[in-house]
Structure 1
Amino acid sequence: MHNFKKLKIWKESMELVSESYKITRTFPDFEKYGLVGQMNRCAVSIPSNIAEGSSKSSDKYFKNYLETSLGSAFEWETQLIIAHNENYITSEIFEQLEQSIKQLQKMISSFQTSLGK
């Protein structure tokens, strides 16, 4: 078993959760139950699946949870693009967060691969 609190992918994804909540607070009120909820659920799903997977008895099972976490990261990136396209966030914020999510995706993928060795 892995201590999820010590994993860099978990720490980075927790930072993303904070960023997601921060930016979605500025979205229009009519998005409260739409894009806001969706983005925040996706963001929360990333570290949650890392944590849950870390409790599994084998790396094989942990990898499945990392795959789900990675899927949520790609879903969140798509929602970030939508938020930018709808002018809910500036290009500067978009570029910063897009870089962060792409880096996190690479980190999760690399960690997943390392478990298979």
Structure 2
Amino acid sequence: MDLAVESYELTKDFPREEVYGLVSQIRRAASSGPANIAEGHGRNATGLFVQHLKIAQGSLKELETHFILSSRLGFVPKDQIGDLMIMSEEVGKMLRSLIRSLQETRNGRPTE
């Protein structure tokens, strides 16, 4: 959720002509991650939860791509994008760990 909020903040000062372009894409990808995590958790089935976590991973990678593009187009300074990329990397690590843990538990292997 913090990454989504930061993503919305990031796009506030984008050029007006990007409202329906990059701004929309960043905001959609940023909100899609936490929404998929919540939806998957609400399904009460490990396999469906893992599936939604993987979709959230895809949204995260899409968001990272939009951050890089924003920087390369000169909309955002590289250092600001760097901070967001670090946040994104941490979220990605948490998602991978959660997926691994759920899969191991589902397959009957104890987690550490």
State whether TM-score is above 0.5: yes
Which of 15, 19, 33 is the aligned partner of 2:6?
19
Alpha-carbon RMSD: 0.7
Deviations 1:36-86 (A, max 9, x none): 000000000000000000011311110000000000000000000000101
CA shift for structure 1 position 92: 1.3
| Larger RCO of the pair (alpha carbons < 8 Å, separation 6+) | 1
Which of 69, 72, 79 is the aligned partner of 1:92?
79
CA shift for structure 1 position 94: 1.0
Find out whether 1:66 has 2:81 as its counterpart.
no
CA shift for structure 1 position 93: 0.4
Identity %: 36
SS in 2 for 1:76: helix
Which of 40, 46, 56 is the aligned partner of 2:43?
56
Find out whether 1:76 has 2:63 as its counterpart.
yes
C-alpha distance in structure 2 between counterparts of 1:27 and 1:116, whole Å: 40
Match of residue 6 from structure 1: none
Which of 20, 28, 37 is the aligned partner of 2:15?
28
Runs of 4+ in 1 over 6 A off after TM superposition: none
TM-score, with length taken from structure 1: 0.86
Structure 2: which 5+ residue stretches go unaligned?
105-112
Bigger radius of gyration, 1 or 2?
A: 2
C-alpha distance in structure 1 between counterparts of 2:92 and 2:44, whole Å: 24
SS in 1 for 2:44: coil
Report how many aligned residue pairs link the two structures.
Answer: 104
